[in-house]
Amino acid sequence: MSDVVERTLSALPGLLGQHDPGAGPGGAGGPGRVSASSRLGSLIRSITALTSKHEEEKLIQQELTSLKAAVSAPSTTLRLMKECMVRLIYCEMLGYESSFGYIHAIKLAQQGNLLEKRVGYLAVSLFLHENHELLLLLVNTVVKDLQSTNLVEVCMALTVVSQIFPREMIPAVLPLIEDKLQHSKEIIRRKAVQALYKFYLIAPNQVQHIHDKFRKALCDRDAGVMAASLHIYLQMIKENSSGYKDLTGSFVTILKQVVGGKLSADFNYHSVPAPWLQIQLLRILGLLGKDDPRTSELMYDVLDESLRRAEINHNITYAILFECVQTIYTIHPKSELLEKAAKCIGKFVLSPKINLKYLGLKALTYVIQQDPNLALQHQMTIIECLDHPDPIIKRETLELLYRITNGQNVIVIVQKMLDYLKESQEEYAIISLVAKIAELAEKYAPNNEWFIQTMNAVFSVGGDVVHSDIPNNFLRLLAEGFDDEKEDHQLRMYAVQSYLALLEEEDKLYPQKFLQVMSWVLGEYFSLVTDVDPEVILTKLHGLLRKTFVTSETKAWIMAAVTKIASHTSCSKAVDEIIQELSSSLDTCLRQYAFELKHLCEDRALMKSCLPFDASCSDLVVDASLSFLDGFVAEGLAHGAAPYKPHHQRQEEKLSQEKALNFEPYGLSFASSVSSSGVTGRQSPTGLSFGSDISGNSAETGHKETNTLKLEGVRKLWGKEGYLPKKENKTGKGNEPQPVPCGSFLSGQVGEAPALQPEQGASLSEEDKEKQQLASTLFIGLGSSAGVSLMGKADTATQKFKRKSKITETQQLSEEASDLQTSTASDFGSLLDTVPVNVEDSEGSMHTRLRKASPSSDIVEDSLAFETPQSLRKSVLDDRISANRLSQSSLFADSNIEIFQPSSSAQCESASETPLVPSLPEELAELPHSEVVGLCQSAALALHLCKVWTDDSLLLIVFVSNKTPSALHAVNLVFEETEHFQILESASSQFPVIEAQSMEHCQKCVKMNKVCTQAILPGSVSYQSEMETCLELSVTLSLMDFIRPMEMTTEDFGKLWLSLSNDVKQNIKMSSCQDSLSAALDTLQQKLKLHRVDVIGNEGILACQLLPSVPCLLHCRTHSGMLALWFRSPCAALPDGLLYQCQKVMEES
């Protein structure tokens, strides 16, 4: 510690400017500077000499009091203020609040010389967070420094922007940062790219119009600028890899140069050329090559070279090898590379070093779904890792076992997870394992008893750190039931019996969530157990109410169960005692429950009607409009009460009456406002601050954070006796784990492992025999002949607990269940998002590959899992199915339709035939429509599509052509509903017969459910010729397909403007051909289907709507070649989407 303190003290004079070349050796305060560093040095020495926390707090409080008086004194010079800021930074780093100095840090950044501004900016970046209100005072300072000719000032401003600037302040500095991308100094360009990367993370729609400039940064002559741009591209490619396929060659070339040592030696780390740059490029290549054979071929050589050169025994080369392995198993496979990657994984797994063994297990977990046999090769090593002393190794081994779980080994793997769960004290590990066990139990449970016992163990061992979704899902599964009513009855009855048995133990302390589950199950299904008197159950619940460890929330669950049971009993002594005891309770909620129970017991008919048996899944009619209050509201209005106004409208009116600050930078401020132009009844848009409460974007930034250290809940590690935590007990391998509090839940569930051969048994020790038996149990089902059932894949075995689809179940309930399943799977790793795609070629051979779903196109990827029949010619799909792979959807020119191109042989066969030309019906031909484009085709069938934009809908006209000389039967066209789009009326169209060489058509009306810039609507068409054939198709729809003009008056615009809460602002440059507001409005009106409401001076207002009736208003102003756009809408995502379209249109024009 002493050498660290000495090095810190030796660096202080440099920070405080003692060696500033602009300062003379004396005179100019040289002694003052020495005094400044000595004051901080003496503070550090005093703190390090203390012996207790109390003494440190006392000393720091004295120091803060002295600093507060110093910074508040009017005679304090900037030099002294700088020294005070450094001491304040040190106090803040120790966890003591010094908020009185925040405003002085901002002032120091605004004034003084370079060194003083440097300390001020440093203090601001450490003191403030993105949502701090004082950041508003820094905007003009940052804008001024960005326009400075001093490189140091520009660098400091760019650094602060990339650290703490919120999304509301981006428009003020975005044009200036764009200009810095063309700066002559590479450090400025690099910091500008880093600032834009921060903007892309918090507000991607505001920087989408400068993607071309990102490409210039990628080709920058300076390697540092190029490396900075890779962060942006990695993020963008994660969201949409298909849009950047053309850059694959550039990334491969860059990686070749890096691996070949073409960069400067300054980028080397332990003789490894730019390792972090290599890792970024490997991740990008993995995303680009996924499911794309042609793109993957470009990177095979450089991946081989990377594997070959990363042979140095150093941690950084191990990281590069790990990324290479992940990339090789992500892209389209090549056998030679797969063999080398497998050898690399084997070296990692077999290494005695813990770090390398962890990397091997991590890589094995990643690739297990592509190569299950790889786990079989290292099964004994994996078994040994289960008993490894390092908990991280054990946890990663359990993760690997979780990925290979199937119906045959689920009992053993779940038991291993529970054993680790009983020993673990880490909250994160408990939460993660509990979720995995619950998922495996629901998916692969062999019987009802094992499922209930396992879930009991989960709730008991997991405690109250269990995520609330797990007990909620368990209760929902019990309530909804399965396809078999008999199974439902047995499962519920066994659950009631097990909970009654657990409550027999008086002294057991169960977690609160477990008690809540028990209470709900007993209240709903107590009558299924006919051999137990309800009075006994009520007595047990009464006993729980008397327990001191039971929280008020859990007692509310118990009271609900008591009320349900009491509704089916004539009289109960326990109920009377509960009412008497809780009627005088200090807990108001329990007292209310007691009075409700008392009144319900007095009216048995009402009680039974309010609490029917097993009605937890029944639909409830909810009056969302609160119509029962209409009479009360009408009476209040008649007596002069003011009508209700939403919160955002009240806030708008309050701001419109006050003089608001203008936080726009001086260079872009405007002199006039809408209110001054004669438009009445509206608030001027300039009256809103960037951080106003009515901004929808402001609300998204989250709540304010604290600047002080949060020490609550931190374990006390040091005391008078030294290190306090107890030493871990080292137990032998033969010791059995301690049972969970609720008893041995899983005893007797694991079957006997297959017996060893006599020859092997004679030569192996008992310990080795046990390991081989365990391996045969764990890795059962992973052989080449067995049906592999990996997590995240479509399991070949029937799922034990398959929920029953009820007609009365609302759509919202199903959406919540699917969202929960998706979020749970994402928590367990991106590899769970894989589905199998089986393709049969003309020779009848079956090939299987794995498709990993992209985060931005989950629905599209899922829709591509289909089987191609043998009758479909291989030549027709030769461009689509190559080397057992399916390529991603390809976009042709301006048509966003996925097209299956026929082979040359198919074209020759159809050349002699008269082509069928699709044409719109007369009633639709006069409406605005797109060109007719090909959708998909086979040797027998062809589909074409045309979009028709009506005033109130989007129509998809699909033409189905029969190209064969014989009739096609049972042609069925189906579009799948996604999270973004919904097919109105029916999603399918059936054609019983399509005659030879003829065409039929159908039309579908599409609605956008979730706003997006562009998304894909998948579908399929099946028909019967010699055998049933199915083709997949997809249609790309954009936001502009659903935007229509919205006509209104200026007065209506003003009223509607005040009622909308979600807004987005952006300043964009106008081109030379758009030098006037009228020209810009004409462009927006024509290209974006906007209605021009009014033009007043240099301001214009436009309106549109998202079908069917979601309005979006636009206010425009021009000044000094800039167009200021301000969108408002009740939908939070709609302004961002339209802003992106505006930026795109203005740049194209």
In this structure, the strands spanning 272-273 and 268-269 are: antiparallel
User: Of 83-92, 322-331, 765-774, 894-903, which gets the smallest average pLDDT?
Assistant: 894-903
Which pLDDT value is given to residue 1120?
74
Name the residue with tokens 């089986």.
838
Confidence band for 939, pLDDT divided at 50, 70 and 90: confident
Two tokens, residue 553: 């929330």
Query: Is the pLDDT assigned to residue 713 strictly greater than 60?
Result: no
- pLDDT score recorded for residue 1133: 84
**pLDDT at position 697, please?**
41
Section 390-403 average pLDDT? 88
Tell me the mean pLDDT in the region 212-233.
Answer: 90
Report the alpha-carbon angle 745-746-750, nearest 5.
170
pLDDT band of 1107, cuts 50, 70, 90:
confident
Q: Where are the alpha helices (DSSP H) in 689-786?
A: 696-700, 758-763, 766-778
pLDDT of res. 529: 84
Q: What are the CA-CA distances from residue 616 to residues 480, 613, 1035 (Å)?
A: 8, 8, 41
Of 871 and 389, which is predicted with more confidence? 389
Task: Average the pLDDT over 1019-1038 and give the result.
Answer: 83
Coil vs helix vs strand at 985: coil
Q: Between vectors from CA 1010 to CA 1007 and to CA 1015, what angle results, nearest 5°?
A: 80
The C-alpha atoms of residue 906 and residue 939 are separated, in whole angstroms, by: 7
Average pLDDT estimate for 895-916? 42
Which tens digit of pLDDT belongs to each residue from 965-1016? 888 888 888 888 788 888 887 778 888 888 888 888 888 888 888 888 888 8
Which residues on neighbouring strands pair with residue 1118, listed in sequence order? 1123
Q: What is the 3-state secondary structure (H, E, C) of 344-409?
A: HHHHHHHCCCHHHHHHHHHHHHHHCCCCCHHHHHCHHHHHHHHCCCCHHHHHHHHHHHHHCCCCCC
Sign of CA dihedral 844, 850, 854, 857: positive
Give per-residue pLDDT as tens, 715-724. Answer: 555 554 454 5
For residue 13, name the pLDDT band (cuts at 50, 70, 90): low
pLDDT given for residue 859 in this prediction: 34
Residue 463: which region, alpha, beta or left (left: phi > 0; alpha: psi -120 to 50)?
left
Per the listing, tokens 């690997």 go with 400
Contact predicate 99/133, CB 8 Å = no
Q: What is the mean pLDDT of the chain?
A: 75
The mean pLDDT value for 349-372 works out to 85
Residues 212-235, mean pLDDT to the nearest whole number? 90
Range from 146-160, 361-375, 911-925 carrying the lowest mean pLDDT = 911-925
Is 889's pLDDT higher than 80? no
Structure confidence by residue, pLDDT tens digits, 500-559: 999 888 778 889 999 999 999 998 888 888 888 888 888 888 888 888 888 999 999 999
* pLDDT on residue 482: 76
Q: What average pLDDT does range 913-933 have in this prediction?
A: 78
Peptide bond into 758 cis (omega under 30): no
- Provide, rounded to the nearest whole percent, the portion of the chain with pLDDT above 90: 18
Mean pLDDT value across residues 685-714: 40
pLDDT for 283 equals: 94
Write out pLDDT tens, residues 434-466. Answer: 999 999 998 888 888 899 999 999 998 888 888
In whole angstroms, what separates CA 197 from the centre of its chain? 18
| Contact in structure between 938 and 1029 (CB atoms under 8 Å) | yes
Q: Span 97-124, mean pLDDT?
A: 90
Please indicate whether residue 803 or residue 852 has the higher confidence score (pLDDT). Answer: 803
Is a pLDDT exceeding 90 seen at residue 386?
no
Q: Strands 1122-1129 and 933-937, how do they pair?
A: unpaired
- Write b or e for each residue in 24-46: b if 16 or more Cβ atoms lie within 10 A of its Cβ, otherwise e: eeeeebeeebeebbebbbebbee
- CA separation for the pair 915, 961 (Å, rounded): 10
Taking 50 as the threshold, does the pLDDT of residue 177 lie above it? yes
Q: Which residues contact 919 (CB under 8 A, 6 or more apart)?
A: 925, 932
pLDDT score of 866 more than 70: no
Question: Does the pLDDT at position 806 exceed 80?
Answer: no
- DSSP H helical ranges for 628-695: 630-638, 647-657
Helical H segments across 916-969, by residue range: 922-925
Assess contact for 91 and 63: CB atoms under 8 A.
yes
| Rounded percentage of the chain residues whose pLDDT exceeds 70 | 73
Alpha carbon distances (Å) from 743 to 28, 499, 514, 739, 748: 79, 12, 14, 6, 13
Q: What is the pTM of this model?
A: 0.57
Ramachandran angles phi, psi of 22, nearest 5°: -80, -5
More confident residue, 497 or 846: 497
Among 503, 498, 505, 596, smallest CA distance to 541 is for 503
Stretch 947-957: mean pLDDT, rounded? 88
Q: Is the pLDDT of residue 871 over 70?
A: no
**Lowest mean per-residue pLDDT among 220-229, 434-443, 470-479, 830-839:** 830-839
